[in-house]
Structure 1
């Protein structure tokens, strides 16, 4: 059985999100900073009249801050019923990955393994599949709700 993933680049690695968790992909847009938020929260964007919190995945994963390029995108996702934007370096493709090629992540990954659902093999590449429900702690989800 094939699973569809939205594949994106972040700090030179490929990551995937289940296509059912992705609402839309928008060009990097003006983000309004909100004081007293965690470092990984960029701020909020106004998307067609709706205020959506934006998370910088590089910061969330503890990576070095990279240069934003014209390819940067904000992926609007649903995290446990909460809409949020994820800043990524670029969106590559929507890929169909055979479920049988997905393996559990080893304990030594560059990302906190709690976020990682598994590793998918596609051609000669490895796609790190992100488990959105575990991207934020309960109190962080509550904080994002208050930002809307």
Structure 2
């Protein structure tokens, strides 16, 4: 069963999803909460020679070597004005990765729960099986007019990082 199908079944059975919301460039993204082990502050990253451009390098996280993926580079997102030292690292749960992996993001906003009725899984989502987008979450905008919504792109991190996670 694909990761996409498992996520959709899990969400459908519960009627809601729990996600970690984060920022890349000017956009808000989310991944499933249960795919996250922890969030850590930026630390010096040692570059790995001859690695793909989206592999930022490695860090020593409490004695464990952890590969860091630059999610902006992986998704071809234009950089932000934020300094790299202000970034956060979302360490992925070992249940979805064969090795220690973290993704570097501009900022982590919150852990949120959304009803599936607020998730559009058809509109802007590519129907291609290789798409890493699970849906677009329509989040009520805070501090704005009451009909305004913010859009959060819900991504399938297992699909996005695919082969790298299974090596």
TM-score (norm 2): 0.75
Quick one: which of 93, 99, 104 aligns to 1:78? 93
What corresponds to 2:112 in structure 1? 95
Quick one: which of 39, 44, 56 aligns to 1:42? 56
The number of equivalent residue pairs is 138
What is the Cα deviation at residue 81 of structure 1?
2.6
Q: Which has the larger radius of gyration?
A: 2
Note closer, same or farther for the CA distance 1:13–1:114 as it changes in structure 2 (3 Å cut). Answer: same
What is the Cα deviation at residue 99 of structure 1?
1.4
Structure 2: tracts of 5 or more residues without a match: 1-14, 141-148
Alignment of 1:6-45 (within 5 A): 6-45=20-59
Secondary structure at the aligned position of 1:134 is classed as helix
Structure 1: tracts of 5 or more residues without a match: none
What corresponds to 1:2 in structure 2? 16
Is 1:128 aligned to residue 142 of structure 2?
A: no
- Taking the aligned partners of 1:87 and 1:55, their CA distance within structure 2 comes to 6
The structure where strand makes up a greater share of residues is: 1
